[in-house]
Amino acid sequence: MSKANILVVDDEPAIRGLVQEILEDEGYAVRLAESAEEARVLLRQHAPDLLLLDIWMPGEDGISLLKDLAGSGSLLYPVVMISGHGTVETAVEATRLGAVDFVEKPLSMGKLLATVEQALASGPSGRAETEPLAMVEPVGKSAVLQALREQAAKVATTNSRVLISGPPGSGCRVFARYIHALSDRAQGPFLEFSGAAVNADIAAEQLFGVEEETARRPGLLELAAGGTLVIDRTSELATAIQDQLVAALEFGWFLRTGGSSRVALEARVLFVVREDIAQAAQAGRLREDLCYHLNAVPLYVPPLREHSEDVPELVTYFVDQLVDREQLPFRRFTVAAQNRLRHHDWPGHVRELGNLVRRLLVMGDGREIDVAEVAEAMAMDQASFDQSSDWTPTRVLDLPLREAREQFERAYLQRQLQRAGGNVAQLARLAGMERTHLYRKLRSLGIDQQKPEDVGE
């Protein structure tokens, strides 16, 4: 039985034949295409588990094909690029578009097989199904966490839709995974979709799939049948997509994009909202009828400061995970250091704590982490957000206009990004900027916004 289905796209017959022979010897099912045009036909017929894509081909090149696939929302499988003479710019562009790795010509068969195996394990865009710090069970012994776990356990025994809300980084996705793990769907697929920065057309194709004359491509709602689909940042989805979700919940079926055949909704859907539900509904970001559908079983994950007694146990969890999975050196937090962490406000919540623990293990020396080291690390965190000290009015007035403007914009957006908890959609609202322009501005200023898949989501 084949391990996986791999599509190889290369204009050189010798390369295609060699790769096919090697991969089939390893038990993979292999299909071949000699051009981007032929690859499109095969991709419409059947989505592969992995796409091996040559960059330099006559006609349409591999980067253009990758860009088109990523832009249409069709990139639900990992892509490895094949290049005979790539450049750094080409590699950066391909990675930005979603490629997970490169293999170079002349091909090393050992390197090829290792890359294929790693890419298949990582999934689309290189994101592994099991994140290094991803909790299966929420950590903490506080009354707040115990009550939440009990509520989640009760919900897990039903097929009810659940609305999970809480500030970014508080652990909403942890509770989604926990509900799935305790349910009778635990052996089924667990898929996640984020509504952040996704336009309506792409979201529709990714969630509901596509139906064309020659082929059907299932979406996440269909792929999650028998399991769970988590729709994260629900309030950031376009109104039209929220309308389609309401209809699917009401009728128990949906249509693929461009299709007319009903598809039964056999996945359990968990919705995550990273802001106050009432405010999101009042502002028009969250459909009221969607709220009505979901609010029957709400689960609110509070900020870390409201259950700060769990901080020591969370620290122990993060240390154990980082030492075990990332082979970081073990270091013990003193009681005074843990007490200092307990009394911190944690604007970034559990995610911020996990990232701080990682940095202390990586950057520090010695077996113990004392309160002074913790305080210094926290001060450095604050300084990174307070680079406004770099643009004090007296200094800025002495700079050329362009430099002064850049320093102000960088400090301003970093401050607003902190307020938004790393949520770019929320940042766009705070700054009053159109999101596409905001992404360009963040890149030009070298600001690395926090990713939704970071610790504590």
Per-residue pLDDT tens over the stretch 180-216:
999 999 888 888 888 765 678 878 888 998 887 766 7
Q: Does domain 5-126 have CATH number 1.10.10.10?
A: no
pLDDT of residue 131: 40
Q: Of 61, 91, 80, which Cα lies nearest the Cα of 124?
A: 80
Strand partners, 272: 164
Tens-digit pLDDT profile for residues 91-130: 666 766 778 777 877 777 777 887 888 778 655 544 333 3
Helix axes 239-251, 200-208, angle to 10 degrees: 20
pTM over 0.75: no
Superfamily of 143-300 according to CATH: P-loop containing nucleotide triphosphate hydrolases (3.40.50.300)
Q: What is the pLDDT of residue 443?
A: 67
CA nearest neighbour of 452 among 424, 411, 429 = 424
Identify which of 304, 417, 416, 307 has the alpha carbon closest to the alpha carbon of residue 352.
Answer: 304
Q: Do domains 310-385 and 387-444 have the same CATH topology?
A: no
Radius of gyration of the chain (CA): 24
Domain boundaries along the sequence of the chain: 5-126, 143-300, 310-385, 387-444
Q: String of b and e for 309-322 (b: at least 16 CB within 10 Å)?
A: ebbbebbebbbebb
Q: Which CATH number fits domain 387-444: 3.40.228, 1.20.120, 1.10.10, 1.10.3470?
A: 1.10.10
Mean pLDDT, each 10-residue run in order, the chain (457 residues):
78 89 86 92 83 89 84 71 66 71 77 79 47 65 94 90 87 91 89 75 85 78 90 87 92 91 93 83 82 79 93 93 84 94 88 87 86 86 50 52 69 74 71 70 65 44
Q: Thinking of the domain 310-385, which architecture would CATH place it in?
A: Orthogonal Bundle (1.10)
